[in-house]
Amino acid sequence: TVLAGTRVGPTGRVFAVEPGGDVRGILERNIALNRLGNVTVLPVAAWDSDTTLYLNTGEEGNRGSAEVSRDTPAAGPAAAIP
């Protein structure tokens, strides 16, 4: 997102899709630190149909293990994304 915001320049726009609250906060801080006023962060997930999705946040402390699914995860914490 930061690279894209830099590449498109001040007249371009970047829309970042980030449903995870803690990861979204990190992304928003990086955008602010890089003074990218051309980036908009959307607190949603992208899917191929209009449906409720679930964000499985994965293992505690491992933000890279999060995943979005149409099905409720069998284990672990999950948040519904309308």
Coil vs helix vs strand at 14 = strand
Q: Taking 90 as the threshold, does the pLDDT of residue 9 lie above it?
A: yes
Residue 82: its pLDDT value, please?
66
| Neighbour count for residue 61 (Cβ, 10 Å) | 6
CB 55 within 8 A of CB 19: yes
CB 15 within 8 A of CB 36: no
pLDDT digits over 23-67, tens only? 899 999 999 999 999 999 999 888 888 888 888 876 776 666 677
Q: Taking 70 as the threshold, does the pLDDT of residue 10 lie above it?
A: yes
Residue 45: its pLDDT value, please?
86
Q: Taking 80 as the threshold, does the pLDDT of residue 18 lie above it?
A: yes
| Neighbour count for residue 24 (Cβ, 10 Å) | 16
Would the pTM count as exceeding 0.85? no
